Structure 1
Amino acid sequence: MTTTTSEKKKIDIDHHVQKGIEYHELGALEQATHQFRIAAKEGSPIGMLLYGLSLRHGWGCRANSTLAFQYLQKAAEHAVDGLQKSSEGKTKMDALLQSRKGELVLAIYELGVSFDQGWGTARSRETAFYYFKIAAQLGDADAQNEVGRCYYDGYGTKKDVYQAAKYYRLAAAQGRGLMGNSWIYKSKYDSVASTVDDEHDKSSSSSNKS
């Protein structure tokens, strides 16, 4: 199948992301951020995520929480659109985005963190919970722990220890259980166990397909 000009451009953009990651792992943060910026400016959702995180933390650039939030928000919007695409009739870029599903879900989680901490935007418990829950339902273990915390503390949502146990169990099933959380395995919370197993299986199946 012949690669179209548009597909080739998108694959070239991903090359900037890959180079940026390589530079980042070598500790060459300025070069890494430069590559992420190029990819972000060209519309790469993953480039937007990584450039946004670079701006938030000041990795190889001057920290700018407001601009970081803008890029993370764009990345999350693209992530939601990309993850909702049908698996049928994929272009090469669609397949590439699916292979990077974890990073796209991370964009949604990081947007939740922005609202949770008030980084670059007004702090909002309810909005933070909203994005954490989307990322949690898409299989992100850190987001699952955050949703568990929100339900347990009544943070941005109504307090519900049964739902808290459910999401904490989902995170634990991925090896991200929290110390001191043995209470979630009490028999009175077993009613959520089957739901947890079902959601964990769906997450694993989705990851295997990507």
Structure 2
Amino acid sequence: MTGRHPSLGTDSLLRYGLEDPRRLARFLLQGAERGLPEAQARLGQILLDGNGIQRDQALALRWFRIAAHHGHADAMNMVGRCLENGWGTAVDLAAAARAYAQAAQLGLDWGFYNYANLLAQGRGVPRDRAAALELYRQAARQGHAKSMNLVGRFYEEGWGVPVDMEEAARWYLSAAQAGDFRGQCSHAALLTRQGRVDEAVSWLRQAMRTATPGFLQKIAEALAVSDSEPLRALAAEINSRYARMQEPLPAMSSGKEGFSSLLSLCPAT
């Protein structure tokens, strides 16, 4: 599109949305009503987020479904997300799995990842860790950092594949370098086991930049009882940061855990 309207490209829409979210919402609505799947999918996303428009999860799902019907892979994935999480509809894990599978069939990395999560956990589909691992691998080959970490986790735990710590280490490093905070944590845990504490602290600091509050809580609890003074100091730093934000991390109720158990704190999803 030309003139004062943006194209539907990601960068163009991002700039436009930052400048005027309401105008972006109107623009996307016009495109969606004209039958443009990309506009329909993006309209669904801003409706889901309430960005520039009143939040309406049910209407978001409707637009995702319309775009998915037109073959839009991201929209198929978002239909799955809505069905999995109960956004605008009742939770339906079996239907979510079907939506993720459709997105995966079109080669979408997030479709591979989300479908693999359900297969790994046996939610909505029979548990099949071998199939889940292959889907994570396919997403990882596309550069999906979360999937890289989970491929490593499967080799670490021996889920659907023989235990192979060297292979796990390679995948954790790849995930860490790709910016996944769980991958950075996993890589740091292995470095600590090797006595490379300074390197581990460096990776944990990187993880702190993007980790969720709940995950940081787990990291702080584990580090606080470490035998390593630098790791204990990092735990205090994490707690201090949240105290300054007036959001202190609540105490964990599961007892003390050493840093060597951090990998077990990284869930499969």
The alpha carbon displacement at 1:181 in A equals 3.7
CA displacement at 1:58 relative to structure 2: 0.8
- Corresponding residue for 2:46? 22
User: Structure 1 residues 166, 180: CA separation in 2 closer, same or farther (over 3 Å shift)?
Assistant: closer
The AA in structure 2 aligned to 1:135 is A
For residue 182 of structure 1, report the CA deviation from its aligned partner. 2.4
What per-residue deviation string (whole Å, max 9, x for no partner) do you get for residues 128-170 of structure 1? Answer: 1111111112111110110111001111111110010001001
Letter of the 1:115 partner, please give it.
L
2:87 to 56, 59, 65: 59
Q: Please state if 1:119 is matched with 2:123.
A: yes
Q: State the AA in 2 paired with 1:173.
A: Q
Deviation at 1:75, TM superposition (A): 0.8
Counterpart position of 2:161? 157
What does 1:1-210 correspond to in 2, within 5 Å? 12-26=36-50, 27-79=55-107, 104-176=108-180, 177-179=183-185, 181-185=187-191
In 1, the alpha carbon distance for the partners of 2:69 and 2:140 equals 28
Q: Which has the higher contact order (CA 8 A, sep 6+)?
A: 1
Aligned to 2:207: none
CA distance in 2, matches of 1:136, 1:78: 16
Letter in 1 for 2:135: Y
Greater fraction of residues in helix? 1
Amino acid of the structure 1 residue aligned with 2:79: Y
Q: Which amino acid counterpart does residue 82 of structure 2 have in structure 1?
A: S
Identity score, percent: 28
Greater shift, 23-32 or 59-68, is seen at 23-32
C-alpha change, 1:148 and 1:180, in structure 2 (3 Å) is closer
Q: CA RMSD in A?
A: 2.4
Compared CA separation, residues 11 and 146, structure 1 to 2 (3 A): farther
- Distance in 1, Cα, partners of 2:142 & 2:186: 25
Match of residue 250 from structure 2: none
Contact 2:177-2:184 within 8 A present in 1 as well: no
Displacement after TM superposition at 1:73 (Å)? 0.5
How far apart are residue 174 of structure 1 and its match? Answer: 2.0
Which stretches in structure 2 are left out of the alignment for 5+ residues? Answer: 1-30, 195-269
For 1:192, the equivalent position in structure 2 comes to none
Question: Equivalents in 2 of 1:112, 1:180: separation in Å?
Answer: 20
Q: Within 1, Cα distance between the matches of 2:117 and 2:146?
A: 11
Asked if structure 2 preserves the Cα contact closer than 8 Å seen for 1:169 and 1:184, the reply is no
TM-score by length of 2: 0.54
Letter in 2 for 1:14: E
Q: Measure, in 2, the Cα distance between the counterparts of 1:180 and 1:124.
A: 23
Distance in 2, matches of 1:11 and 1:173, equals 40
TM-score in terms of structure 1 length:
0.68
Say how many residue pairs are matched. Answer: 157
- Offset at residue 179 of structure 1 (A): 3.0
Shift of the alpha carbon at 1:25? 1.2
State the structure with more CA Rg.
2
